[in-house]
Structure 1
Amino acid sequence: MSPSAGGLVVFLLSVQVIQSQDGWRVNYLKTDVCAAKGSEVFISCDITYPYGIYPSDIKDRFWFTKEKDGEPVDLRTDSEYSGRVRYRYNSDSDSCYLTITDVRESDSAEYKFTLMTNKPGEKYTGSPGVTLSVTGLQVQVRKIRILPGWELTCHSSCVLSDRAEYVWYKNEKYIKRGSSLLVSSGSTDRYSCYLTGSSGHGSPAVYGPQRPSVSVSPSAEMLEGDSVTLTCSADANPAANYTWYKEHEDSPRASGQIFTITDFTAEHSGNYYCEAQNEMGRSNSTLRLIPFSGKSHSFFCSLTHYINNPAKEVTHRVTRRPLSET
């Protein structure tokens, strides 16, 4: 799955900077580049040679970010850029170009252009170079006061161009273009955004809590007076917050994923509700502790799950060791 290609995705910021040394000059047209992960980046420069040096005197020219033993490493020989780097040089205008495809966050670095002449040891590097920042996309969730829903906005850690085009997917299917999207409250659908032309690299999906999972510890034998620990967990993005309630009580018993009942007795029986909630919605699960009647007092717990409006309950029964005799 990927958004439809929209051509070259390059965003250049900042101002011209010129480096010169003994008549050499490298003019990087822009010194800061912000690009979305998966896009194609284009960097360019112009070169001025000192008197007596001509393009035919240049035996090698290339871009680099690293040095080894004090010498620059050609990007074309760097395994991290294998198959993703292209150079182009225009001898008529003395212009140099670098293209990096399918950029990664690890590509964030300072890129410099260097030239080596036919004379041993004679070289020139335009420094400082061009700083590339590669960013992943994120979805920001904001409550809309006048509507029963949320506004999702696609954004990045560095400033992309005003020309950036975003597309939205719902459950991995394209739904619309635009930098923002309105969704209804309580939705359990998954929403993600992409930058057109970014080779399928999109934001992590945002969605409301899925059905929580509730566990009990200890899971084996338990005696009256032991501590019982209840744990609730739900898949959600943004991460869910958890609240525990007991039936027929208005105030919550605890907050957080873990709820511990100390000195457990039959009086603690009843329904305990774990509610997972984030900006997108909420979901409930019920832990039911019920004592048996009879000579030996034992209990079992059943997990009953509800999602928003409960339609069907799913029960898991766990029988415990008998409690102390009455």
Structure 2
Amino acid sequence: GQDGWGVTYSSTEICALKGSTVDMSCTYRYPYWQNDRETEVKETFWFTKLSGKQPVDLRKDTDYRDRVEYSCSEKSCTLRITDLRESDSAEYKFRFITDQEGGKYSGLPGVTLSVTDPLRVPSVSVSPSAEIVEGSSVTLTCSSDANPAANYTWYKKNGDPDLHPLRQTGIYHFSSISSEDRGNYSCKSENQYGEIMSSSVSVDVQYAPKLPSVSVSPSAEIVEGSSVTLTCSSDANPAANYTWYKENEDSPKASGQIFTITDFRAEHSGNYSCEAQNRRGRNKTTVHLTVAGELSSFTCPLSFILSSLLISWTLVLFMRTSQTSLQHRQKTQSSRKTCCEVQFTVTVTTKTLHMCSVILFRCS
């Protein structure tokens, strides 16, 4: 200061947390003897505001009521502020007034106080905020006003009590979101003063039905006259609607997840399809039903038939040759004809092996 007047602060910059207590200290000096008399200090106080160009004592400022106290001695003074608020962030100056003419002095610049709230709950948002469709681009954003600046970590809850960390970033981007990405997401904000978790945000991904699963009850052989129940299910969002069709029939057989045939007959055999559909698409699965032991068409292999015929004609020729060589012993039978028949028998069932049997010849 000039001519022996001055204020010295122990610290000119202070950072403090919301709700905490802070102390600011200073020492001051002035001429001990001036204008032929000893200088006497009449008043000391701290201020941040002016009223009519005059500093306002913090003890009289309603914003600090019951939260400030002074601890002053000769040529030193400490200001204490309790229950700090973010609005307390300001420049604090010390002023003293003496009995000398013009003997007033303010320490400029003062002490800069920064009050921060490091544990403010971060806010989270999802873009787009409308319906999210599988394959689209989705962005999750986490932000807070923490000071110092916070670091962020995204978590996903997968149905168990634990949260699974995903990525350390304020922005989490899905370039092509899938049905497996749906769920509840939370963001943790963290800096040197602590950490705090956000509330969770739900990401609901809509998608077409996955390939339906069809179960048949009973799962064993279907006995004619029995009841058969088909059940269809598919993973879909929104939930799927189900329609049942039979092969080569235009009209649907039923709607709903469960389709029951109460008296199953041979004419009910065939391929049945379950189609699952929602506004995002459709998918279907086909099953084959047949009555136990039902006959089905079967043709003996051509190679089997041809080989049988070859053997048959070989035997026919052999018989004729034998007949000629023995004519002298069979004169009484020379007028008789030899008849050889080839007979095929086919026996087939769905529950036994396909069988082809051939009676090669019968001669008389």
Taking structure 1 as the reference length, what is the TM-score of the superposition? 0.43
Structure with larger Rg:
2
| Higher share of residues assigned helix | 2
Taking structure 2 as the reference length, what is the TM-score of the superposition? 0.39
